[in-house]
């Protein structure tokens, strides 16, 4: 299973108890860990350690259009990065890249990887930055192979 847009892009609906942001839509890139940060900040709870998420209240209140310039994700043996214009899907070490121009190809039909290596590098570097340089994810293929070998 590859993290194409229809699998990874999901709707986030927030109902603020005081109606802040009611009826508004926003296409911002947000991630799951933004929810914890938003809720704790709203409640005035200081976590015992720094959280990586962004507070979404400025978006809800209409003070900001976005809280991040890109979003990243790791899923099984795939990585994904969306900068609002392009989406990169690739292997854990950047291999087998697929690059899509989401403004002109929202259904991800035309892989632009061969034509835009600079965009691939920029997006992969964003993935590495989010992972503090790596490792990105365990290589499940190698782990499964090792476990199967041990059972022999």
Q: Determine the average pLDDT of the residues in 31-58.
A: 90
pLDDT tier, 6 (very low <50, low <70, confident <90, very high otherwise): low
pLDDT at 11: 76
pTM here is 0.76
Residue 140: both structure tokens together: 């499940």
Please name each of the domains of the chain with its CATH number.
Answer: 1-68 (no CATH), 71-141 (3.30.1120.10)
pLDDT tens per residue across span 59-104: 988 899 899 899 998 877 889 999 999 999 999 889 999 999 999 9
pLDDT tier, 139 (very low <50, low <70, confident <90, very high otherwise): low
Residue 152: both structure tokens together: 């022999």
Half-sphere exposure of 136 (CA within 13 A, CB side): 23
The closest alpha carbon to 71, from 81, 79, 85, belongs to 81
pLDDT at 60: 86
Check whether 111 has a pLDDT greater than 90. yes
* Strands across the sheet containing 71-75: 71-75, 78-82, 86-91, 98-101
Is the peptide bond preceding residue 135 cis, with omega within 30 degrees of 0?
yes
Q: How far apart are CA 76 and CA 71, in angstroms?
A: 17
Q: How far apart are CA 37 and CA 30, in angstroms?
A: 12
């Amino acid at each position: 299973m590859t993290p194409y847009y229809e699998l990874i892009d999901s709707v986030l609906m927030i109902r603020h108890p005081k109606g802040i942001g009611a009826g508004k839509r926003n296409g911002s890139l947000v991630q799951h860990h933004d929810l914890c940060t938003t809720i704790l900040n709203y409640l005035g709870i200081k976590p015992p350690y720094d959280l990586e998420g962004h507070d979404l209240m400025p978006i809800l209140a209409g003070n900001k259009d976005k809280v991040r310039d890109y979003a990243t994700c790791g899923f099984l043996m795939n990585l994904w990065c969306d900068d609002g214009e392009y989406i990169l899907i690739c292997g854990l070490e950047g291999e087998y890249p697929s690059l899509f121009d989401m403004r002109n190809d929202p259904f991800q039909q035309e892989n632009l990887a061969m034509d835009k290596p600079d965009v691939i590098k920029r997006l992969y570097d964003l993935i590495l930055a989010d992972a503090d340089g790596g490792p990105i994810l365990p290589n499940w293929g190698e782990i499964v192979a090792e476990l199967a070998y041990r059972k022999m």
